[in-house]
Amino acid sequence: MNATVQPILTARGLVKRYGRVTALDHADFDLYPGEILAVIGDNGAGKSTLIKALSGAVSADEGEMRLDGKPIHFRSPMDARAAGIETVYQNLALSPALSIADNMFLGRELRKPGVLGSVFRMLDRTAMEKTAREKLSELGLMTIQNIGQAVETLSGGQRQGVAVARAAAFGSKVIIMDEPTAALGVKESRRVLDLIQDVKARGMPIVLISHNMPHVFEVADRIHIHRLGRRLAVIKPSDYTMSDAVALMTGAMKPPTEMAAA
Ligand SMILES: Nc1ncnc2c1ncn2[C@@H]1O[C@H](COP(=O)(O)OP(=O)(O)OP(=O)(O)O)[C@@H](O)[C@H]1O
């Protein structure tokens, strides 16, 4: 990575303990502008906990995080969202019975102007549907014809598309995706990977947590390897094979010391 480019999101020395379990053990993290950074690691390595700390879902016991060089202290995912970090969780957090448009705006609905406090104002359904349609079409998701359609009637890939479009629509700085292709078939995974590339092409840096090595090696610019609660190394997919990456994350291969600073 070019030494003159400053990372957009960093963490230094994050520690998170759950009773006797140390989920994060002085973990570091760096995300650079415009990149897709994959985070890989064995089960229980602490990937989800790292991502939860970065997205405000858990607060670390120790360590510091910075966004655009400024210290951040998130007390909730709402804080992280307000700072421009959007997360697409594994369980998607979509409401199946609500429409695509309603899901896009869940928790931040547009309301019509009025004299009463914002909670009492009428929802501006037309504006939400228009914006939802624009956002989905920007990302080439116009196969979803009916914006008023309930999310439960969509395929897994389409649902993931809505979740990604929502993150892309509201995330101004960083998008974090936790296993976005885990529950999808080959064709649907393909579309979601294309979507991730589209979001990147629009200049948005992405953190991608995945166990799927072919997907990681296809889309990632760099790969953060997490092991035993901390960052073991960062590699470029062009410099290593998938088996090397797996060997590193399972401890079968030791990282050369210079790799840890990549
Ligand atoms: N809420 C919690 N309470 C207790 N222990 C937890 C909690 N969350 C995570 N842990 C523990 O912290 C460690 C790291 O878990 P984490 O989910 O971050 O790992 P991971 O790398 O995301 O794993 P996986 O790939 O299996 O999802 C594990 O030992 C896990 O059991």
HEC secondary structure over the chain: CCCCCCCCEEEEEEEEEECCEEEEEEEEEEECCCCEEEEEECCCCCHHHHHHHHCCCCCCCEEEEEECCEEECCCCHHHHHHCCEEEECCCCCCCCCCEHHHHHCCCCCCECCCCCCHHHCCECHHHHHHHHHHHHHHCCCCCCCCCCCEHHHCCHHHHHHHHHHHHHHHCCCEEEEECCCCCCCHHHHHHHHHHHHHHHHCCCCEEEECCCHHHHHHHCCEEEEEECCEEEEEECCCCCCHHHHHHHHHCCCCCCHHHHHC
CATH number at residue 79: 3.40.50.300
- Mean pLDDT value across residues 189-216: 91
Q: Give, for ligand 1, the residue of 16, 29, 49 to mutate: max count of ligand atoms closer than 8 Å to Cβ.
A: 49
Nearest atom, ligand 1, residue 24 CA: 14
What's residue 42's pLDDT? 95
Lowest-pLDDT range, 51-60, 61-70, 114-123, 220-229?
Answer: 114-123
Residue 261, pLDDT score: 46
pLDDT 10s digits, 85-98: 999 886 666 777 88
Which whole number is the average pLDDT over 205-211? 95
Q: Which of 14-28, 116-130, 166-180 has the highest mean pLDDT?
A: 14-28
pLDDT value at residue 47: 95
> Which value does ipTM take for this structure?
0.97
Confirm or reject: Cβ of 21 under 6 Å from ligand 1.
Answer: yes
256 located within any domain: yes
pLDDT for the residue 164? 81
For residue 2, being part of any structural domain is answered with: no
When pLDDT is averaged across residues 110-119 and rounded to a whole number, the result is: 68
- Please check whether residue 17 lies inside any domain of the structure: yes
Structural domains in the chain (count): 1
Domain coverage including residue 230: 9-261
Q: Is the CB of 251 under 6 A from ligand 1?
A: no
On whether residue 118 sits in a domain, the answer given is yes
Mean pLDDT of 240-248: 96
- Averaged confidence pLDDT in the chain: 87
